[in-house]
């Protein structure tokens, strides 16, 4: 990579591919994509400029999320042959996805307006806080698991969760906020179709509107009246979809019977904040909403599975937009995407095997914490270097207009 625009087969490219493989295998366990690691690797190691690295990252996150979704959506049966409920909580996904997509759009605008130094500070503060909270949750889960293993070895048969004969905790993945519903005996096709409908609704808006440079399927003045009208249309769209789910009589699987109603509002608000911050930082919202879900009591396995589904929808939307707007080096991006797919499969198999063998779902929480800590160091360092270069070159470092 000499010119920063053409990716060629070279030692830096191979090193970047290896680093991305490792990053994706770690990120896959937490279902958080890994964009916060891919972008620094592609810019620092492979030498890509930030714009191309961001487009590559969208494809790579998509590749990894496909592996996660395929793994989590596959049909499972118990020992009696009955279909088991999957780990993905579609109610949380339905409540979160519209507001997350809206938040990403708001965050992208803020990314253009905010100065680089402010973005770097916000990113560092939020990720450091999230990393400490996530690691704290991981330690808490680890201690709980250790206590349950100790009790099971001492012959205790009932300690809140059902324990099998060989001491393995069977119901460790039961949500902390309530008992799962009994209605999910089959695959929730209706909820999945609603998620797809949400995806298409926002995608059509993005497709028609184009970007701030006038790149779209319909000739439209960049940042004109039509551009902002379509952009603002996302607000009532997100409100309609969220309200539809929010005020439905369908209870959320991971919420207990005494925590319905107002408690549902937690998820769209968290998704809106995570999406907005993800749009500001340019890394998507998967990494940011995971610690928030863990904080309100969603178990690690449900958090990872649900986030992977949301990451799939958001990353595929970004990837399709890059394609339709004339993305360069699509072949190289697909190669890196396949690398991340294979790495995610490997990471999922290894982590899930460790969870089944040792009964340690907290491994998922620690994998999320590791990715967030690495992202905080890499992205913050990268941002500090950019700020320093702007300062030394005398560039304007204040707030800018959105267009």
Distance CA 234, CA 102 (A): 6
The sign of the dihedral angle between the CA atoms of 85, 91, 96, 102 is positive
**Statement: the pTM of the whole predicted model exceeds 0.75:** yes
Nearest in space to 2 (alpha carbons), one of 60, 49, 51, 54: 49
Among candidates 63, 60, 321, which has minimal Cα distance to 203?
A: 321
Burial 332-347 (b: 16+ CB within 10 A, else e): bbbbbbebbbebbbeb
> pLDDT averaged over consecutive 10-residue blocks of the chain (403 residues)?
62 93 91 87 85 86 92 64 69 92 88 88 89 91 89 63 46 40 64 92 86 70 84 93 81 55 78 87 79 86 91 87 77 94 94 88 91 89 88 89 79
- The first and second tokens of residue 353, run together, are 């095997």
How many angstroms separate the CA atoms of 262 and 330, rounded?
A: 45
Q: Which residues contact 182 (CB under 8 A, 6 or more apart)?
A: none
pLDDT in tens, 154-198: 765 554 544 444 444 444 444 433 434 444 457 788 889 999 999
Asked if 31 contacts 307 with a C-beta cutoff of 8 angstroms, the reply is yes
Residues 6+ apart with CB under 8 A from 372: 36, 127, 130, 131, 134, 287, 291
98: closest CA among 216, 210, 196? 196
């Amino acid at each position: 990579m000499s010119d920063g625009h053409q990716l060629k087969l070279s030692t830096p490219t191979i090193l970047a591919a290896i680093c991305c493989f490792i990053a994706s295998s770690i990120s896959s366990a937490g279902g958080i994509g890994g964009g916060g690691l891919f972008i620094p690797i592609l810019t620092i190691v492979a030498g890509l400029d930030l714009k191309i690295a961001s487009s590559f990252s969208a494809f790579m996150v998509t590749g990894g999320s496909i592996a996660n979704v395929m793994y989590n959506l596959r049909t499972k049966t118990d020992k009696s042959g009955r279909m088991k409920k999957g780990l993905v909580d579609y109610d949380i996904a339905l409540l979160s996805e519209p507001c997350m997509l809206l938040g990403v759009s708001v965050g992208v605008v803020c990314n253009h307006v905010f100065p680089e130094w402010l973005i770097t500070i916000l990113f560092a503060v939020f990720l450091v806080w999230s990393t400490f909270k996530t690691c704290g949750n991981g330690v808490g889960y680890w201690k709980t698991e250790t206590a349950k293993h100790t009790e099971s070895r001492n012959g205790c048969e009932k300690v809140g969760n059902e324990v099998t004969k060989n001491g393995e905790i069977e119901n460790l993945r039961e949500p902390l906020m309530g008992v799962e519903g009994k209605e999910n005996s089959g695959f929730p096709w209706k909820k999945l179709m609603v998620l797809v409908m949400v995806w298409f609704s926002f995608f059509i808006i993005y497709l028609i509107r184009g970007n701030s440079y006038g790149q779209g399927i319909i000739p439209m003045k960049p940042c004109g009246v039509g551009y902002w009208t379509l952009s603002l249309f996302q607000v009532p769209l997100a409100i309609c979809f969220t309200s539809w789910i929010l005020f439905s009589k369908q209870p959320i699987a991971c919420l207990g019977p005494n925590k319905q109603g107002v408690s549902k509002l937690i998820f769209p608000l968290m998704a809106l904040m995570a999406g907005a911050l993800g749009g500001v930082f340019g890394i998507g919202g998967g990494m940011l909403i995971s610690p928030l879900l863990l904080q309100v009591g969603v178990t690690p396995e449900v958090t990872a599975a649900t986030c992977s589904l949301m990451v799939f929808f958001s990353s595929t939307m970004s990837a399709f937009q890059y394609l339709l707007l004339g993305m360069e080096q699509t072949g190289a991006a697909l190669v890196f995407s396949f690398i991340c797919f294979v790495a995610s499969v490997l990471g999922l198999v290894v982590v899930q095997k460790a969870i089944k063998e040792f009964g340690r779902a907290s491994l998922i929480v620690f994998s999320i914490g590791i990715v967030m800590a690495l992202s905080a160091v890499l992205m913050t360092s990268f941002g500090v270097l950019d700020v320093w270069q702007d300062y030394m070159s005398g560039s304007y470092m204040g707030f800018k207009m959105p267009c």
